[in-house]
Structure 1
């Protein structure tokens, strides 16, 4: 089954020449350093979303929070992230990816300090909303920055280093929470120490990005081709840099002709174009489906979930670190899977696996008597669910959102898609405690299982395959409707070995 073709008014694009091999040398080290520095944004993303998991109990005690205000403190960051994702994409299109990451580092630091000194529930809620602006901005800017700097052959692995840093950030938060909570858990205001640690990677991100280059594709879009070539020569061999510059330049010229004919502007007006409207809906669908796996319900409320399952408070803090460990392990396994299998194959496998995991969690809660035995079984199935999600769905969705939108529409399209991702995340963060409290673990996870079936149908019928194609080829294929929905692209060669 193929996507509905878009009939261009210009002549069909010519077949593109194969790019020279990447080669090895100082440029390889430089590209690796750029990826490490930029993904400190992902580390902050992970730590700031995961730290509330262990900080919530002492925070509740100090501010006398109710279940409703607990949900607000947890989810207000996600509402801020939705706003940050929408505007972060537009700002990165206008001012550049690097500039945006520098700005986000400052916001991360200021908001972290605000959370630490918060004197009241209202103050910390505002501070966490501002922190969410930075999290949302990073979630759309960092993957695009990495995708536009990475060569086609390595794009999957490099972009998903951001997902690796996200889960490292979450695992760090879980481990730090467990240590601090078990050693100094009775100290008043101990949650402030947990939140303060995020200031360190924010400082590292700002200092590191001062020496990093701008995205070459963004520079070309601004007509700054000499600067773009200089950037490419930092992270490619000279021959490869020149060839990539020519490819991007040719695609930009063809895109400009198409834009003039179709009226493409890089904003809301582009939704009049059928293929852009369709791919935006696919992006939104993938983003929402990723969140309704329930992965972040476990990341935010794992400690409370395990307490409800039967663990003691201190035991739940320690057991919850297993979620972080399996999350990290899953992403590492996902790195290998991305190099061997298509995006669609991994998405379909992932949604099938999460459906089974949710059913096992729900039925275990219903059929096994209360006690440490039931708690241990539920923990096993929860960590299996986390592993499957992080090895397949989570990294693939972020990767595809960075791949599927055309250059002129990329920041805006990714921003809108991630806006919906964070709104779905916000809804789960706000209502999950109340739903579990009202209906129990069994009903909650059986509902999640039903949602996974719907997501599986959506992916099978609508998600395109993008593996093994440059960003320019993806744009060309989507605009002409030549990417197959079910089949892999026909021209999969060495470039597919990401």
Structure 2
């Protein structure tokens, strides 16, 4: 359930912007900074979160990040001015990124082998569900207390309640990862932990043997990519079985041509996912609808549809991706997203500013997000892990996700500025 925290917090800015602008007097550049700084914090939080989890344990790191998340949320909700909001949002994003990097690992390592794939993909779905939840909360609070400029603080702070509950549950109920315990010389504790989660001693013993074998394989058989005895054209399976003297790093990836190609493909897919503009829909949906012609109250309500279609599309994407294949689904999503983009441009050019254009834009945003979330985003998250050999999966996936975060930060910073520039240009040419 930790994914709900990130989904809720990352998209809470969507419904908060109209009220933050009124209370804090934000400029377009200020709106972009407040939005993008959360993503910057999340990018660094995801990097450090993984390293802390390897050193101190999955459970401890997750609980620590959840406590920091609560403090960051309270800090943002109580911030008196723009500068304080900026600092607390950065801190808030850092803790959220740590949660998203650690929670799926803990979930995967405590699940049975049969449940592992389903549980990890479910984590992505829960994250999108968190985005839907904040859109519902924002629509209700924003319409009931529309005249209250500080209502954005309540939209943000309400996530503290489930966050506190999660911290308590994780401390009292959730076990440490048996794999991490075994890897850090705590085999007896790993056995006791795994035994409590499995039906029989035989199942526990079998899974513990698999964990031990996997750890030995990583420690003794990780590929030394730079080994001169290996040709650059050898396939990944041969590389995985060669003896090694060190773990693969970024320098190892860059020394082998086919690995550089794999890395570039992963980076391109990650950047493309964000370049299509999915972050604009999830972070600025209310602003897009307001700029198209809807009033703020109606835009907040319509924003619920954006969250709902994103959730349903992500669910559908996870159901069909294994049947139709990654490449086919990715191409399908790209064609659909580009078509929706073109339709929105035509709609904006033909229809005058007003309610009709606002609802037409909303109607076209739905298929845009359906293609983006259900196809492109689903494939991106899966491919970023699958295309790399096991020995470099961690660093390869990290680089791809950092590319996605960087692109999302850039877009979220530039979008409100570009909207303001377009409005000023149109006013000068009237």
Of the candidates 180, 183, 203, which is equivalent to residue 218 of structure 1?
180
Structure with the bigger percentage of helix: 2
**CA contact under 8 A between 2:146 and 2:297: conserved in structure 1?**
no
* Residue in 2 that maps onto 1:300: 283
Bigger mean CA deviation after superposition, 316-325 or 383-392: 383-392
User: Residues of 1 paired with 2:335 and 2:317: CA distance?
Assistant: 16
* Residue in 1 that maps onto 2:246: 264
**CA contact under 8 A between 1:88 and 1:415: conserved in structure 2?**
no
Deviation of 1:225 (Å): 3.7
* Residue in 2 that maps onto 1:6: none
Root-mean-square deviation over aligned CA pairs:
2.6
User: Residues of 1 paired with 2:35 and 2:59: CA distance?
Assistant: 29
Deviation of 1:171 (Å): 1.4
User: Residues of 2 paired with 1:281 and 1:230: CA distance?
Assistant: 43
User: Residues of 2 paired with 1:289 and 1:100: CA distance?
Assistant: 31
* Residue in 1 that maps onto 2:32: 71
User: Residues of 1 paired with 2:101 and 2:386: CA distance?
Assistant: 12
Of the candidates 248, 251, 255, which is equivalent to residue 214 of structure 2?
251
Of the candidates 289, 293, 296, which is equivalent to residue 272 of structure 2?
289
Could you tell me the TM-score, scaled by structure 2's length?
A: 0.84
Cα distance 1:241–1:352, how it changes in 2: closer, same or farther (>3 A)? farther
* Residue in 1 that maps onto 2:92: 131
* Residue in 1 that maps onto 2:240: none
Deviation of 1:418 (Å): 2.5
**CA contact under 8 A between 1:309 and 1:378: conserved in structure 2?**
yes
Could you tell me the TM-score, scaled by structure 1's length?
A: 0.73
* Residue in 1 that maps onto 2:70: 109
Cα distance 1:134–1:410, how it changes in 2: closer, same or farther (>3 A)? farther
* Residue in 2 that maps onto 1:25: none
Gaps of 5+ in 2: 225-242, 424-430
Cα distance 1:159–1:216, how it changes in 2: closer, same or farther (>3 A)? same
User: Residues of 1 paired with 2:60 and 2:397: CA distance?
Assistant: 18
* Residue in 2 that maps onto 1:121: 82
Q: How many residues align?
A: 401
Q: What is the 5 A alignment of 1:114-263?
A: 114-210=75-171, 211-238=173-200, 239-259=202-222, 261-263=243-245
Bigger mean CA deviation after superposition, 161-170 or 172-181: 161-170
| Secondary structure, counterpart of 1:244 in structure 2 | helix
User: Residues of 2 paired with 1:285 and 1:115: CA distance?
Assistant: 34
User: Residues of 2 paired with 1:110 and 1:43: CA distance?
Assistant: 17
Cα distance 1:267–1:199, how it changes in 2: closer, same or farther (>3 A)? farther
Cα distance 1:137–1:267, how it changes in 2: closer, same or farther (>3 A)? farther
Bigger mean CA deviation after superposition, 418-427 or 227-236: 227-236
Question: Is structure 2 residue 26 aligned with structure 1 residue 43?
Answer: no
Deviation of 1:115 (Å): 0.7
Higher relative contact order (CA 8 A, sep 6+): 1
User: Residues of 2 paired with 1:310 and 1:188: CA distance?
Assistant: 21
Bigger mean CA deviation after superposition, 391-400 or 78-87: 391-400
**CA contact under 8 A between 1:43 and 1:201: conserved in structure 2?**
no
* Residue in 2 that maps onto 1:434: 417
User: Residues of 1 paired with 2:329 and 2:110: CA distance?
Assistant: 24
User: Residues of 2 paired with 1:289 and 1:433: CA distance?
Assistant: 20
* Residue in 1 that maps onto 2:235: none
Deviation of 1:152 (Å): 4.5
